[in-house]
Amino acid sequence: MKICLFGGSFDPVHAGHLAIATAAQHHCKLNEVVFLPAACSPFKQGKNTFFSDKQRLHMLHLATEDLPWASVSGLDLQLPPPSWSWRLAEHWHLQHPASELYWLMGTDQWEQLHRWARFDYLCEQLHFIVYHREEAPLPRPGVRSTFICSGMHPASSSVIRAALKNNSPIPEGWLPPAVADYIASASAGE
């Protein structure tokens, strides 16, 4: 079984996240893509998310409900900060020892991978799927990796958050419809 872990803030989850996960699932013939909202990235400590943990989890469930290969886990939200990827990889390896584990990431994360805690352990446990916009990044010796270019969706969580703060419209097609409805109803209720 091929299981891919997809960590991130998902603040909020948007159509670009789904496009990337769909491209990875198709290209690598993954059985499951697990969306893992991060509690607190070691590289973003001291920064709060716009949406609460509960809201981010709920939006991920809404966004993935029609994707039979997708699941959502709040595991990282239950662990003490910061969010260490090796803990998630270790958990999935122990729970699914016969499975092949993947980690889905962008080029920016790939270029910083050597700075991740327990880098060698991660490389032993995981096959990295790296999505990129233009030219594929350089492979790393001894690191299993697959590079995909999914014709990137323009959606951006930071642009969406800025629009919400400024009471401006969010570009059409950037949010899954159920997530857009949820945000609209949450905003109306405030």
Structure tokens at 157: 């969580």
Give me the pLDDT at residue 48, please. 82
The residue range of the domain holding 58 is 2-189
List the CATH number of the domain containing 125. 3.40.50.620
The answer to whether residue 82 scores a pLDDT higher than 90 is: no
Task: Summarize pLDDT for 39-62 with one digit per residue, the tens.
Answer: 876 655 557 889 999 999 999 999
What is the domain count for the chain? Answer: 1
Q: What is the DSSP string of 14-47?
A: -HHHHHHHHHHHHHHT-SEEEEEE-S--TTSTT-
Give residue-wise pLDDT tens across range 140-180.
Answer: 999 999 999 866 788 999 999 999 999 999 999 999 999 99
pLDDT of residue 186: 83
Distance in angstroms (rounded) separating the CA atoms of residues 168 and 62: 23
Tell me the two tokens of residue 142: 């001894």
CA distances in angstroms from 172 to 27, 77, 151, listed in the order given: 27, 30, 18
Q: Other CB atoms closer than 10 Å to residue 186's CB: what's the count?
A: 14
* CA 75/CA 173 separation, integer angstroms: 29
